[in-house]
Amino acid sequence: MKSVNSFMSRIIKRNPGEPEFHQAVQEVAESVLPYIEDKPVYVKTKILERMTEPERVIIFRVPWMTDSGEVEVNRGFRVQMSSAIGPYKGGLRFHPSVNLSTLKFLAFEQTFKNSLTQLPLGGGKGGSDFDPKGKSDREIMNFCQSFMTELFRHIHSDNDVPAGDIGVGAREIGFMFGQYKRLKNEFTGVLTGKGHSYGGSLIRPEATGYGLVYFVLHMLKLHQRSIDGKIVAISGSGNVAQYALEKCIELGAKVVTLSDSSGYIYDQNGIDADKLAYVMRLKNEERGRIKAYAERFGCAFVAGKTPWEVNCDIALPCATQNELLEEDAKMLIKNGCFCVAEGANMPCTPEAIEIFENNDILYAPGKATNAGGVAVSGLEMSQNALRLSWSRAEVDQKLQEIMENIHRTCIQYGYQPDGRLSYVQGANIGGFIRVADAMIAQGLV
């Protein structure tokens, strides 16, 4: 613990005002520092010190014009965290909360997540404090084109391949891909999450949500349990939540909640496939609020709250970072929840995770459970490089294998001296080793 404290005080001093980055590093340091203690090869080469320093950070101005002719200025970022095992890889987030701290935490997490997939993917993340909410398609296009007009000189299919994240979906990727192609005069796989007609992989839209549920199946199987008939609480209503919900329905679970930044809906009858089709229309086309679901289907809408107060067996936080707090963790346990798996990045606070681990709740962190999205992005890169397209069944099969492998890695490194399994420890150490060994092999770079 002493070495974690001194490691963290250095991190905090060197990265002031970046609480999310400190939080992500602390969680990894708590697993990795005890692991490397008796392995001088990692200590002498200062691997963790180097991993917590981005290889490069690009910050740029993004000017654009609204439909009414107003000039707006946003800030764009790309954090190129690690290229030890492959080109920088990770999404772009457009949200008013985006700042350097958020993107450094995300890029750091991404490095471990990508390593866990076993694919050749380094770690990166980017985005802007631009708020897509309420903007017209033309304003979104103006912004995306301006953003790419700077970013294009820093990325390439062989060195940095962004994708989507919060606020960046197929529409935004399309606009950015178009602008990149125009500026560079080349048609390459420089972004993933593209539309299928211009190089996108089948199953990429579904991959994060499906992968999350595939991982949960392995967690349950280890304890001779199944998902069939279980009550599931999901937060969020975007890409990850939608496809986690779809897979849960297919496997016979009953999902009772969805949420957005204004509150959550509680549908005790369960959200079925028709209701999901409505949610997809509402969120992806009309870009409306989840409250409309409650009005349409006559169920409860709880304003200003997250879903962690409902009765459920399984909780899947799929909204955003730090959305599940200590008191939520206690409430979930009180209400019978026995499994928590993260669809979002870092949705549970450290205090909540401690509650789960101390109460023997099956808990697994996002860098393991939500890796399916970036994994299929990796498969999209392979298909683009080969200039061909794999079938849905082929990609889904590979996704299932990757999630099973990640679960196996967590088990390999996650057992603690008292015999308890910590998916946090397993994911952190499993992700660390591959990047660390590549860094050592490549010398002091």
Residues lying near ligand GLU in the complex (CB under 6 A)? 89-91, 110, 163, 165, 192, 345, 373-374, 377
Q: Looking at beta carbons, which residue is closest to ligand GLU?
A: 91
* Residue closer to ligand GLU (CB basis): 312 or 319: 319
* Residue closer to ligand GLU (CB basis): 7 or 390: 390
* Residue closer to ligand GLU (CB basis): 97 or 268: 97
216 CB neighbour count, 10 Å cutoff: 29
* Residue closer to ligand GLU (CB basis): 90 or 414: 90
In three-state secondary structure terms, 283 is helix
In the complex, what is the shortest distance from the CB of residue 90 to ligand GLU, in angstroms, rounded to a whole number? 5
353 CB neighbour count, 10 Å cutoff: 23
DSSP category for residue 201: P
Structural contact between residues 240 and 373, judged by C-beta atoms closer than 8 angstroms: yes
In the complex, what is the shortest distance from the CB of residue 220 to ligand GLU, in angstroms, rounded to a whole number? 23
* Residue closer to ligand GLU (CB basis): 201 or 306: 201
* Residue closer to ligand GLU (CB basis): 27 or 165: 165
Of the candidates 250, 208, 207, 194, the one whose C-alpha atom is nearest the C-alpha of residue 347 is: 208
In the complex, what is the shortest distance from the CB of residue 68 to ligand GLU, in angstroms, rounded to a whole number? 32
Q: Of 89, 104, 113, 125, which residue is the catalytic one?
A: 125
* Residue closer to ligand GLU (CB basis): 94 or 308: 94
DSSP 384-420: HHHT----HHHHHHHHHHHHHHHHHHHHHHHB-TTS-
In order of 119, 168, 346, 374, 377, the CA distances from 108 in angstroms are 17, 20, 11, 14, 18
How far apart CA 107 and CA 120 sit, in angstroms, is 16
In the complex, what is the shortest distance from the CB of residue 107 to ligand GLU, in angstroms, rounded to a whole number? 10
Structural contact between residues 15 and 54, judged by C-beta atoms closer than 8 angstroms: no
50 CB neighbour count, 10 Å cutoff: 16
Known catalytic membership, residue 125: yes
How far apart CA 26 and CA 49 sit, in angstroms, is 12
In three-state secondary structure terms, 426 is helix
DSSP category for residue 168: B
Cα 192 from chain centre:
14
Of the candidates 96, 7, 14, 19, the one whose C-alpha atom is nearest the C-alpha of residue 53 is: 14
Catalytic sites, residue numbers = 125
